[in-house]
Amino acid sequence: MKALSRLHSMLELLGTRHRRRVLVPRRGLDFASNDYLGLAQSDLLRDAAQKALQRDVPLGSGGSRLLRGNHPEHEALEQEAAAFFDSEAALFLGGGFQANQAIFSTLPAAEDLILYDALVHASAHEGMRMGRAQARAFAHNNVRAARLAIEEWVAAGGSGQIWIAVESIYSMEGDIAPLAELSDLARVYDAILVVDEAHATGVFGPNGKGLAHGLNAGQLTLHTCGKGLGVSGGLICGPKVVIDTLINRARPVIFATAPSPFNAALVRAVLQHLQTDPSLSLTAQSRIRHAHAVARQAAVPNEALNSQIIPVILGDDAKTMEMAATLQSKGFDIRGIRPPTVPRGTSRLRVSITGNVSMDDISALFETLAHQQVEAA
């Protein structure tokens, strides 16, 4: 069949470019996942799971939220999440990808402008592609460029609502958005700031509430539950009218099976723990500071040291995958990241400081990395 032959050719071409992806098992120390607090296999979640089972919380939802899939655990989580993140309301979806799809495909109208950071996540791009609004990129973390783009749009006759889409921590760069300046910009132009907190939730902000916490009462925030919180799902937090609109209009809400009530119960347990005990996020930040210190000794550029995500840019696709394989063989689970996930010529090792490694493990990783780089030079 022509279609299958075409797919085979495409995969072979990816292989020759060292860009073909395959699913591989976990191996060695966890420097690859987004389990930043080490909760995914924690006693905290095991205990929460046992209590949820004792309360007869269903493992599956059985349908969409509008067709009997709604459960008291979903509603309790949304009420507690709204209180935790200091928003009017919250909505629980199956994942952060679906949440971004829902926001950008549903809320902006045809006459609106979505102004997005050039490195915003693929899920936001997918939502924008599905939506009706005009979308324009601005240079990464460049507030001046964002302001100029707004001024140009207004000068050209733009008069709809402006939406500014950013991430608080960027998943492949590990750098942090200038949220205070972006929030000020949003106020000046009566724009809605949409902040994807996927890699900040649980780690940064008071009690892990995120880096955008407290900046702008009118903004939307997205908090994924499958990274720092250790479970799965996504929470959209914002004004109640926005949440009600998503329930009525968002296809990822209306036509998708609701997330598991059991997962909602687990996320509730994590948020309740974070509310009363800041030690998880404080310990994570201590690991991050240690990682930055030893990374500097290993000659990782200082501009790459902003968060728990540390990119080691090697440039060449083949060299990156070879270095990843070498580190895996030495007991460190690190994955190589290649285009199109990152721009061409910036293939990298994405070092993730998770809650599943010790200070000694972190030191050993960067010592090994420094040695391997010397050998490869």
Report which residue type is found at 30.
D
Sequence-distant (≥ 6) Cβ neighbours of residue 141 within 8 angstroms: 117, 175, 177, 178
Q: Cα 231 to chain center, whole Å?
A: 13
For 75, the 3-state DSSP assignment is helix
Q: Is 34 a catalytic residue?
A: yes
DSSP code for 191? P
Q: Is 152 a catalytic residue?
A: no
- Helix, strand, coil fractions of the chain, as percent rounded to 5: 45, 15, 40
Q: Is 196 a catalytic residue?
A: yes
Distance CA 4, CA 287 (A): 47
Select which of 71, 74, 121, 292 is catalytic. Answer: 121
Check if the beta carbon of residue 332 is closer than 8 Å to that of residue 370.
no
Place of tokens 């500097």: 296
DSSP codes joined into one string, 118-138: TT--HHHHHHHHHSSSEEEEE
Nearest CA among 126, 131, 137 for reference residue 109: 131
Select which of 74, 209, 227, 273 is catalytic. Answer: 227
Distance CA 23, CA 20 (A): 10
Ramachandran angles phi, psi of 356, nearest 5°: -105, 10
For 312, the 3-state DSSP assignment is strand
Sequence-distant (≥ 6) Cβ neighbours of residue 134 within 8 angstroms: 112, 113, 114, 153, 158
Q: Is 167 a catalytic residue?
A: yes
Strands (DSSP E) found in 3-111: 29-30, 89-93
Select which of 30, 34, 209, 356 is catalytic. Answer: 34
Ramachandran angles phi, psi of 12, nearest 5°: -65, -40
Alpha carbons within 13 A on the beta-carbon side of 28: 19
Q: Is 244 a catalytic residue?
A: no
Select which of 196, 197, 317, 333 is catalytic. Answer: 196
Select which of 71, 74, 199, 273 is catalytic. Answer: 199
Catalytic residues: 34, 121, 167, 171, 196, 199, 227
